[in-house]
Structure formats: structure tokens, C-alpha cells
Amino acid sequence: MLYLASQSPRRRELLARLGHEFGLLELDVPEQRQPGEPAEDYVRRVAREKAGAGLLKVVGNPAAVVLGSDTEVVLDDEVFGKPRDAADAAAMLRRLSGRTHRVISAVSLVSPAREAQAVSVSEVSFAELDEATIARYVAGGEPMGKAGAYAIQGAAEAFVTRLSGSYSGVMGLPLYETAQLLRQFGLG
């Protein structure tokens, strides 16, 4: 039985596109980057911790396979997590304006017998955003709860001048890498 260790509606939607039935595990795993921890290592670790915490919830099921994932926006080695409030969201968008940033999305799949992981790194270039555009976007509420204060599948798609990598990875779950891992576990 496949389980998704995530509260993200986007990850649920993306995983469903692969045609697998899955259960949901709601967890509260702290997402705190350690001092000196490289951004990609941080994203990998959080994805692994989410999957591991999910496996603990279904420990009595020897057929359980748990998927954990984490996605972060990185600019100049700074990880842009979810904004604390509207002012924080606007500040993030100002920093991303006119620049190219990386989106790192890690997927961990664990079962009682094994573990595997994949990482997708995408580059996203934003147009120059004026204050009125940022204010309108933030006022719409879409940036809240989103890494980097934007949702590429929403109104922020209009900010993107170039994407190199995985669109689904930027959304929160890289489907190619996820499908490969599921096949490794006999679920594809």
C-alpha cells in the first residue's frame, strides 16, 4: 500500500496523476535548515525525514511504502521557505524579480525493507515585477503556504520567462523521478 506523507493538496493532485491509489499521512515534520547545510542536502534530508516519520505511523504494515517530498526555492544559496506573512511574501517576490532561481524538489520512498531517493533541480527565471504586480499577487493570498511565495500553477505562471527542468517539480512533486522510484519499488 502506497502512502503520501504530506499535507500538500498539490502533491496529492500530482501523485494522483500517476494513477496510483494511495493513503494520506498527515505529519508535522520540522523544516529547519542546519547551519552550513547545503541547500540540496537540506531538501533531501527533509524529504527523507517526512517519509521516515510516515513509515513510523504505518509500522505494522509490512507492505507499506511511504512517499515523502520537499520542495524549496533557492536564490544565492538562501532557501526561501514559506512566507510568514504578506510582507515576507512581498519581500521574497522582490528578491526573485528579474532573477533566475533554483527549485530543488526531493522525493524519498521508504518501506520497511528499503529506501530510495531522487532529486529534481529546476531553474526558473522571473520577469521584472513592479510593486503593483507584487501587491496584487500577495493580496490574492496565493503566496501563502508556498515555498518562495509563489505557485507556478497559479497566477505566478505569468511571472515566469523561462523554466529549465521539471514543471511538476516546481509545483512540489517531480513526476518523472517519482514514477521511476515507484517502479523500483514494484509500484509502476
Q: Which residues of the chain have pLDDT under 50?
A: none
C-alpha span between 45 and 70 (Å, rounded)? 9
pTM summary value: 0.95
Find all residues with CB under 8 Å of 40, minimum gap 6, and list them: 104, 106, 119, 121
Angle at 73 between CA 70 and CA 126, to 5 degrees: 140
d(CA 87, CA 5): 30
Candidates 49, 149, 148, 59; CA nearest to 104 is 148
Alpha-carbon span 8 to 171, nearest angstrom = 10
Catalytic site residue 88? no
Catalytic residue among 70, 76, 77, 85: 70
The pLDDT assigned to 152 comes to 96
pLDDT, position 7: 85
Q: What is the pLDDT at residue 146? A: 94
**Do the beta carbons of residue 150 and residue 96 sit within 8 Å?**
yes
The neighbouring-strand residues paired with 119 are 106
Q: 10 Å Cβ neighbour count for 31?
A: 17
Alpha helices (H) in the chain, listed in sequence order = 9-17, 39-57, 86-96, 131-139, 167-171, 175-184
For residues 6 and 36, what is the distance between their CA atoms, to the nearest angstrom?
26
pLDDT at 72: 96
Strands 160-164 and 23-25: unpaired
Distance CA 100, CA 106 (A): 20
Per-residue pLDDT tens over the stretch 143-166? 999 999 999 999 999 999 999 999
